[in-house]
Amino acid sequence: MMNTELIEIAGLSVELVRKPIKNLHIGVYPPAGRVRVAAPPAISEDAIRVAVLTRLGWIRKKQREFEGQARQAQRLYVSGETHFVFGKPLRLLVQTNSKNHCVIQSDAADRLTMRVPEGSTTDQKARWMSEWYRGQLRERAASRILKWSERLEVSVPKWGIRLMKTKWGSCNPDRGIVWLNLDLAKKPLAALDYVILHEVAHFVSPRHDEVFLSVLDRYMPTWRQIRTDLNALPLSA
């Protein structure tokens, strides 16, 4: 069971989550640089404060990075907007028809065509575009989940797609489940490969320890640069 509270440390509002884990973990999350500490129940609040103060310089640095990180402009789903599909910028063309909706990608014309019923709202178009992105990501991810599972000689996990605010992916090795962030449909395929390898590698080692890092180094020597490039890309609005 988790217990969450807000505490203030050196002027920072810190979300403290008590959960049954072995070690304390400090995270700084986009888009606003939210600080979250996950800690075992046995660790005192004084020890947590010391841990945060010890990493205060790193926390401030991460927050500055998020402040300077580009944000995607709010999407209105009108003709002329640029939408990214696996890292490729495509110009949106919106066409109206009588009753149906669909999204069609034309690589030759660098265009994304969205056909919608007359009078469709922005929220409706956003939902239809999200459904299309989900299908694209599912199609690209399926073979990669299988590929990395086979290479790492682990059981192929169950997996799904959902929109996440702070992570590109997550996994639960005990339950054999991997989740991918829907926004990966907008990022380069190299980033998708990295995130899937990262999550599947947790079935070799559930922690970010030397065994886990050795898996990434062996199968994707450039993973650190790919991670840096991914985290530098615009965040969703």
Query: Left if phi > 0, otherwise alpha if psi is -120 to 50, otherwise beta: which for 51?
Result: alpha
Mean of the pLDDT values across residues 173-195? 95
- Per-residue pLDDT reduced to its tens digit, 58-100: 999 888 877 765 556 688 999 999 999 999 999 999 999 867 8
Is residue 222 pLDDT above 90, yes or no? Answer: yes
Contacts of 169 (CB under 8 A, 6+ apart): 178, 179, 180, 181, 184, 195, 196, 198, 199
Question: Tens digit of pLDDT for each residue in 152-176?
Answer: 999 999 999 999 877 899 999 999 9
pLDDT at 70: 57
First-to-last CA distance in the chain? 32
* 202 contacts: CB under 8 Å, gap ≥ 6: 171, 173, 212
**CATH architecture for the domain at 82-232:** 2-Layer Sandwich (3.30)
Write out pLDDT tens, residues 102-129: 999 987 779 999 999 999 999 999 999 9
Of the candidates 47, 44, 2, the one whose C-alpha atom is nearest the C-alpha of residue 20 is 2
Whether residue 235 is predicted with pLDDT greater than 80 in this model: the reply is: no
User: What pLDDT was estimated at residue 72?
Assistant: 66
| Contact assessment for residue 194 and residue 161, using Cβ atoms and an 8 Å cutoff | no
Residues above pLDDT 90, as percent of the chain: 69
Q: Residue 167: its pLDDT value, please?
A: 83
Task: List the chain domain ranges.
Answer: 3-68, 82-232
* Model confidence band, residue 137 (pLDDT cutoffs 50, 70, 90): very high
Instruction: Look at residue 24 and tell me whether its pLDDT is greater than 80.
Output: yes
Percent of the chain at pLDDT above 70? 94
pLDDT(32) > 80: no
Burial class of residue 188 (count of CB atoms within 10 Å of its CB; 0-12, 13-18, 19+):
middle
